[in-house]
Amino acid sequence: MGHHSCCNKQKVKRGLWSPEEDEKLFSYVTNHGHGRWSSLPQLAGLERCGKSCRLRWINYLRPDLKRGSFSPQEASLIIQLHNILGNRWAQIAKHLPGRTDNEVKNFWNSRIKKNLGPHEVIPALASFSNIHNPSITGSDQESFFTTLITNPNLSLHQQEQPYLPSLTTPLPLSSFYHDDHNTLKLDYTNNTSNFLHFPSLVQLPSNYSSSYDSSGSLGYQPHQFDPNHQHSQVLNSIEVAPNFNIGNELIMVPSMASLPGYDHENLSVVPDMPQFCVNIDVSVKLIGVRSLMQSYHRCQYLHHRCLRTSAASSSLSPLQNSHLFITNPNVHSSLGSLSS
DNA sequence: AAAGCACGCAACCGCATTGAA
DNA sequence: GTTCAATGCGGTTGCGTGCTT
């Protein structure tokens, strides 16, 4: 077991850092910044390898580090994120301001892991890893979503959504209009990329009242919806359904049957879709299990649609480009690939 | 009081990835 | 396109500390 190449070139000290070494490193990085760790030790007067300096800075000296034990909220978040991300400690740590990957990893291995017995599989993990297994139904699926919903802090950064080109903002009221049949429709004019990017859930003003339609049919009340809206610039549309209230918030999600190419008579898809990657955004914070289940089914539908689309054109990327995205109002969240 | 033990944490190691030449 | 150094990351080690016997 040799040392790193950077450590072979010079006499390096190993083991715990002394206060004097910390002072040298802190002073140097504070004054000069970092960026070239390999040359830093010599410049800073340290007999350490660059890697050791980097680690010491990141895990201990960085001024933005949070000290002290993890709060219950942080622990909960780590568990939730670990269900989704696995042992990707650096990714997990990014959601815990002031915490390092090393810290999170140590915390997991020393505290959480031992408290989760072999039979205590967290529902989110079990359900999500099997999300495309048709045998996973009903309560299992629901427990998966429930786990998400009960953690309002769940939020993953955009970089974990490799196929999401930009953050989605809630659609304004002006995005909607009524068609000739008085059906509420959503402008769909922003599909400029390879992405058929569904809008986020739409949050309407609290004075807009509607009731959740438990039958799953379109339950909105058109006369209550922005009667003055002009829709002369509508280029395309997606029907929106169903909507429902949670507290004072009205939630709307795109209807599966409103997708371009959907064959209403045969309940199937016209396989000439130009887009092969679909993002579905739903609000974890505001949404209920039922609507998440509806979104899940939509994802399944889209999954199959992507399959068919990919098969229809060899130039299209395969299915691994299909992702389910769940978002909360703060940051978007990727739950992983839909590909199996 | 001393030895043994368990635990937490800091640091190291090797591999993977990135980016410059 | 290839090489190689730098950097990033996750697994692992080992030291220090506190508890138990």
At A285-330, the pLDDT tens digits run: 222 333 333 333 343 343 333 333 333 333 222 222 222 222 222 2
Q: Is the CB of A111 under 7 A from strand B?
A: yes
- A148 CA, B6 C1': Å apart: 35
Q: How far apart are CA A171 and CA A209, in angstroms?
A: 18
| Domain boundary pick from A35, A61, A87 | A61
Q: Which nucleotide is nearest to A18 (CA to C1')?
A: B10
| Per-residue confidence band for A254, with pLDDT thresholds at 50, 70 and 90 | very low
Q: Please, which residues have CB within 8 angstroms of residue A61's CB and are 6 or more apart in sequence?
A: A22, A25, A26, A29
Please give the tally of structural domains in chain A: 3
Q: Is the CB of A4 under 7 A from strand B?
A: yes
pLDDT digits (tens, 9 = 90+) for A182-200: 433 444 443 322 222 222 2
A283 and A328 Cβ atoms separated by less than 8 Å = yes
Closest residue by Cα to residue A274 from A166, A194, A165: A194
Q: Are residues A186 and A311 located together in one domain of the fold?
A: yes
Distance in Å from B5's C1' to A258's CA comes to 65
Q: How far is CA A294 from the centre of its chain?
A: 18
What are the pLDDT digits (tens) for A22-36? 888 888 888 888 778
Same domain, A23 and A139: no
Closest nucleotide to A52 by C1' from CA: B11
CA of A55 to C1' of B11 (A): 8
Residue finishing a domain among A149, A172, A198: A149
Output the pLDDT for position A29: 86
Q: How far is the CA of A10 from the C1' of B13 (A)?
A: 18
User: A248 and A106, same structural domain?
Assistant: no
Task: Pick left, alpha or beta for residue A45 (phi over 0 → left; psi -120 to 50 → alpha; otherwise beta).
Answer: left
Measure A102 CA to C21 C1' (Å). 34
CA angle A302, A305, A308 (to 5 degrees): 155
By C1' distance from the Cα of A59, the closest nucleotide is: B10
Token readout for A27 is 């002073």
A181 and A307, same domain (yes or no) = yes
Q: Is A34 exposed, middle or buried (0-12, 13-18, 19+ CB in 10 A)?
A: middle
* Pair (A179, A110) in one structural domain: no
Bases in strand C with any atom closer than 7 Å to a protein CB: 5-12, 15-16
